[in-house]
Structure 1
Amino acid sequence: MGKGQSNETLTHHHDNGTSLEVALTSGSGFPTDPWKKPGSNYPCTPGLLAMDDVQRFSHVVPFRNQAGATPSADPRPDELLGELEYDLFKLQQPHDTDVSEEKRQLALSVTRRFIYRVKDNFLGFQTVITPSYSHLADFLDCHLNNAGDPFATGSYLSQTKFMERAVLDYFASLWKAEWPHEVRTQEADDSSITKLVETPENPSSYWGFVLSMGSTEGTLYGMWNGRDYLSGKIMLIDGHLAGDCLLECHDNGCHTNGRSNGQGKAVESNLVNVDQERAIVEKLSGTVLRSPTKESRTPICFYSSVSHYSVRKAMVILKIKTFHQVATKLNFPPPKGFDSWPTEVPSNEDGSVHVQSLAILVEEFAQRGYPALICFNYGSTFKGAYDDVGKAADLLLPIFHRHNLLNRSFSYTDEKGELRRVQRHGFWVHVDGAVGAAYMPFLKMAHMHGMLEQDISIPEFDFALRGKKTEHYDYSDVEVVNSIAVSGHKWIGCPVPTGVYMTKTKNQIMPLEKPSYIHTLDTTLAGSRSGLASAFMWDYLSRHSFNALMEKAVHCHKMAATLAEKLRTLNDLVERRELHPNLSPPTLWVCRSPVSLAVIFRRPNKAIMQKYILCGEEEFRPGESRKLTHVYAMEHVTLEHVDRLIHDLSQDGAFDLHE
């Protein structure tokens, strides 16, 4: 038998009484080599294991399979601990069919020790590290799957959609959407498939779903939703149409632009002469249809330079073009005030989007007929800033009006050969409110009730936001926000990644599939969706009244202000060379955006970064780069945490001298 092979066998018993001996050897395709090791650069989790563990765990996890081997002979402790970590949690076993109970309990014990250690000083990320959901432990003993549309029960009944719908109503109310949802599906008489209600009574009512990931999933869906809406795709409200793309009028008549009947065959369309079509539309609306171009079907995305990294990923996944990509490819001259095309929309010092720059960039494309897909941040960036969506709308709506993007007409011929028209905006506004869309409504309520000691300004972001009446035009009926996403595991504090995506019924995407298998339309991003996520969200909201959440918002706001004040006091000592006199330049770069839960400061040494679970970011400025970190004042952060951090930052060597 070759090296690394085992002489263990498995006896398999057939139903007919015979048995089969199976040799468990690595040469037979079984992963039985117990001593395979990862490379030297394999991840080693800081703080999970200590050097003492190498010897203490040797009876369960033999060190390198060498009797008497000692770790002191190896000059790289991280490599040794990484190897021990790999072996401790390795699932492939050389002899038994499962991990030994002793090793399993040891691995779980190490994990618990690590988690509790992390919880003690967790300051650097936008999550509540101490949620309380152990009372729902029995939910873990059942698979809960909210497959398909939240508003259709479907055939998979081990679900929590009844909780999901309550959570969605809650956020619709919080975000001033029209609720409850106007249900658009009904079961067929034979109970074999779900049919559409073609014309909902209230198409402006909300629609949404609870996410199985975080706000990243919601923003990905929002960008997809906006892309299809702006490019002329058939939406769910147009469900009586076949195919995936609306017709438009062209100079040489109308065409289907690749429309299909959903079965892979082209649909024969009743084409209408362009002059005849325009005459009909003019009679219907008093407006002239613009001849569509490639540009009119090409949404251009705009997002700020400090947007969450997942926004850039969404552009790649969805193949959405950004303004920089198109402008540089087509050699557009830089807009007024810019020497060259920026990669992303510039941001202010506090991290909010520079709305004047956004307006300039959007108009460069609006005047060429491109619709705008805009992603705003609402507390979801490194600096925790809040884009002023209302102020941006005041600048953008007149631009859309000037360039015929306030309302656009898409036309098609129905099954009777009659011309029909759909009106849509030439813009889509998505709000990535990972943190702020849950936190800020309650801070605003607290402010209105006099619970804050100082006056604050809170930018609007929700579905109630409308344009303003100006001297030249009344935009007060224009709905500004099309979709919102929030994370449930951040300010709310669910123990698993989750969140909410929300738009309006009239904006719903036409699902690619209508599977009878689950007896519900496939309207969400994932096929299977976590039923636990909805249960956790419902449980949290049911245990916390509006008053309790206002108190929580005030606590977080005050804790961020307290930390910023203490850091500025520390910074005064640094600038006077009374503390860390050799630090270059002599400053801690303390910054807190208005009403943000994030407090930015100079990145300390590696030990402090790991102790408080801090993240890092590098900010480039003319002539210098700043290596920064931040603390997020979430619910679990107390004055004790703040004072402990300030103490550590005051010690000699707390900062690397030239970072």
Structure 2
Amino acid sequence: MIYPEQLAISEQGLTHAKKETLLTRFFENMSEKKQLFLGYQTNQDVQFSSSLLPFLTLNLLNLGDGFEDGSYEINAKQFERAVIDYYARLWGFSTSFPPRSYWGHTTAMGSTEGNLYALWNARDYLNGYAVEGHHQAVQTKNKPVVIYSEATHYSVKKSCQILGLSTFNDAGPYLGDCPINQGNWQQALATKESGAVKEEDLYRIAAFFLERDYPIILILNHGTTFSGGSDAINRIINHLKPILGNNSEFDRRYWIHVDGALSANFSPYLKDDPFAISQDPYEFRHPDVMSICSSPYKWIGAPWACGIFLMREKFKVGSPHRPSYIAGRDSTVSGSRQGIYALYLWERLSTLGTQGLKKIAIRNEHNANYLHQQLTRLAQFQPNLIVMPKPNGSNIVRFSTPNDKINRQFSLAQDDVEVKGKNQRMSHVVVLSHVTQHMLDRLLDELSTPYAFQKPKSIQHPLTANYFGFFK
């Protein structure tokens, strides 16, 4: 354990020996936690190529727009563009002919920044600002309203507050009776057991605002934070299309954004052809999706958080602000982004290639299915263990929260999930590259003990002794 006073920065500083001792102890502690790290969406299998080490002696700064060179010469924008181009092809944003029809950038954060940018651009687009496809601003009748489900990442609510955007909960009470939730506007847009939005409720809420000439910003999820479940994006958009209509220069009716924080990185690789877009209800690559973001560091592993944001360029709000200081557009939230992020992503993606990425996705899917099957088997012996169905294509497995010792031991995240009409506290495992079958067996072995799900004094149904240690 490292005590705060040992880390205090003094006037004289710390000796090299003391610093080395503290850092060694800290690294050993983190490495120990990594051995059983199962509960969060961050891949701890970080492979930092030695070929990138020299670049850590530079401040590679991608300043301003990644598609403009600008005047800051020590940058990695060409690598950023290569990464964005790859994701544009993977997510169906690129066309087989020039010119480029998409715009995007690597983010300084994960998908939180991507969600913020999407909402920022959506707000200004629907408020009539000039955009790349239409260079004149237009008058709009009403302010946009944001619609999202209760499983949507908490960063969306925060971004709405930052940007002064009204959610359907905020705007609805001024316009009439709520068409869902027994008329209660303050209730969230409910989800199914998988974490996918209840579609009929979504349709009714969307219709309510569109019929009153309020443009909507619709946030859809491809891989929710806790369940890994996905909204049926293809089916939802096709169903809504008759009332959404078409966006035009003078009639801006909607913005559709997909938060694909984790799943958008790997779900295409679970198909025979990762680049082939299907008509599956849960296909997230729909031509009416106007923006999308993800956090590739969560899936392929990285020593820092970073993300990908991509959108249809013709809907991008113009960036008239061109500081002479950077000789280009100041068109991102953070203004400047570390070029080493783009360089790292390019190195990992180009090393693995499409086939390597496909192997990782399939291996993780296999391990997630293994854990779910073994937990289901264990539930026959553990009276207090509930195992939730695993959404198709999800690498997340949910089950009843065990005791605090096990939660801490495996760094398990928790949340309340409605099961048969009652809220149940659940934990989950996120299966990523660092998660081995041995780690999963360690967890299963702990969960098979008599007191795994309740305090010893309250045990009423002791387990069969022969089952203990089964997974060793």
Question: TM-score with structure 2 length normalisation?
Answer: 0.91
Shift of residue 619, structure 1, vs aligned partner:
2.9
CA contact (8 A) 2:417 2:425 kept: yes
CA contact (8 A) 2:220 2:233 kept: yes
CA contact (8 A) 1:440 1:458 kept: no
User: 2:178: which partner in 1?
Assistant: 334
Change (3 A) 1:649 1:137: same
Shift of residue 173, structure 1, vs aligned partner:
0.9
User: 1:110: which partner in 2?
Assistant: 25
* AA aligned opposite 1:615: A
User: 1:99: which partner in 2?
Assistant: 14
Change (3 A) 1:489 1:428: same
User: 1:143: which partner in 2?
Assistant: 59
Change (3 A) 1:331 1:178: closer
User: 1:216: which partner in 2?
Assistant: 112
User: 1:618: which partner in 2?
Assistant: 416
* AA aligned opposite 2:119: M
Shift of residue 134, structure 1, vs aligned partner:
4.1
Change (3 A) 1:147 1:116: same
Larger Rg: 1
Change (3 A) 1:522 1:179: farther
1:319 aligns with 2:142: no
* AA aligned opposite 2:235: K
User: 1:171: which partner in 2?
Assistant: 87
User: 1:594: which partner in 2?
Assistant: 392
- Rounded to whole Å, the distance in 2 between the matches of 1:536 and 1:447 is 22
1:377 aligns with 2:293: no
* AA aligned opposite 1:104: K
User: 1:127: which partner in 2?
Assistant: 42
User: 2:264: which partner in 1?
Assistant: 437
Greater Cα shift, 618-627 or 563-572: 618-627
- Rounded to whole Å, the distance in 2 between the matches of 1:543 and 1:447 is 17
1:633 aligns with 2:460: no
User: 1:161: which partner in 2?
Assistant: 77
Shift of residue 446, structure 1, vs aligned partner:
6.3
1:552 aligns with 2:396: no
Shift of residue 510, structure 1, vs aligned partner:
2.1
CA contact (8 A) 1:604 1:654 kept: yes
* AA aligned opposite 2:284: F
Alignment of 1:534-549 (within 5 A): 534-549=342-357
- Rounded to whole Å, the distance in 2 between the matches of 1:538 and 1:132 is 13
- Rounded to whole Å, the distance in 2 between the matches of 1:535 and 1:314 is 28
Change (3 A) 1:511 1:344: farther
- Rounded to whole Å, the distance in 2 between the matches of 1:299 and 1:505 is 20
User: 1:44: which partner in 2?
Assistant: none
CA contact (8 A) 2:233 2:281 kept: no
Map Cα deviations across residues 539-585 of structure 1 (whole Å, 9 max, x no partner). Answer: 0111012111111111111111110010011111124xxxxxxxxxx
- Rounded to whole Å, the distance in 1 between the matches of 2:392 and 2:292 is 21
Alignment of 1:487-566 (within 5 A): 487-511=295-319, 513-566=321-374
CA contact (8 A) 2:128 2:252 kept: no
Change (3 A) 1:180 1:140: farther
Shift of residue 425, structure 1, vs aligned partner:
4.1
Alignment of 1:370-449 (within 5 A): 370-401=214-245, 406-408=246-248, 422-423=249-250, 425-445=252-272
Shift of residue 606, structure 1, vs aligned partner:
1.7
- Rounded to whole Å, the distance in 2 between the matches of 1:111 and 1:306 is 35
Change (3 A) 1:606 1:370: same
> How many residues of Structure 1 are paired with residues of Structure 2 in the alignment?
454
- Rounded to whole Å, the distance in 2 between the matches of 1:181 and 1:644 is 52
Change (3 A) 1:150 1:180: farther
Shift of residue 143, structure 1, vs aligned partner:
0.8
User: 1:304: which partner in 2?
Assistant: 149
Change (3 A) 1:622 1:362: same
1:459 aligns with 2:267: no
* AA aligned opposite 1:142: L
1:643 aligns with one of 441, 451, 463: 441
1:229 aligns with 2:52: no
CA contact (8 A) 1:300 1:371 kept: yes
Greater Cα shift, 392-401 or 644-653: 392-401
Question: TM-score with structure 1 length normalisation?
Answer: 0.66
* AA aligned opposite 1:554: I
Over aligned residue pairs, what C-alpha RMSD do you find?
A: 2.4
* AA aligned opposite 2:375: L
Shift of residue 104, structure 1, vs aligned partner:
1.1
User: 2:292: which partner in 1?
Assistant: 484
1:206 aligns with 2:102: yes
* AA aligned opposite 1:149: D
CA contact (8 A) 1:355 1:391 kept: no
- Rounded to whole Å, the distance in 2 between the matches of 1:457 and 1:592 is 18
Whose helix fraction is larger, Structure 1's or Structure 2's?
Answer: 2
- Rounded to whole Å, the distance in 1 between the matches of 2:15 and 2:225 is 44
Change (3 A) 1:540 1:180: farther
Change (3 A) 1:447 1:647: farther
CA contact (8 A) 1:214 1:486 kept: yes
* AA aligned opposite 2:254: F
Shift of residue 391, structure 1, vs aligned partner:
0.8
Map Cα deviations across residues 50-71 of structure 1 (whole Å, 9 max, x no partner). Answer: xxxxxxxxxxxxxxxxxxxxxx
Structure 1 consecutive aligned stretches of length 4 or more whose deviation exceeds 6 Å: 446-449
Residue aligned with 1:545, SS:
helix
CA contact (8 A) 1:567 1:590 kept: no
Residue aligned with 2:271, SS:
helix
* AA aligned opposite 1:137: L
- Rounded to whole Å, the distance in 1 between the matches of 2:385 and 2:179 is 36
Q: Which has the higher contact order (CA 8 A, sep 6+)?
A: 2
Greater Cα shift, 166-175 or 512-521: 512-521
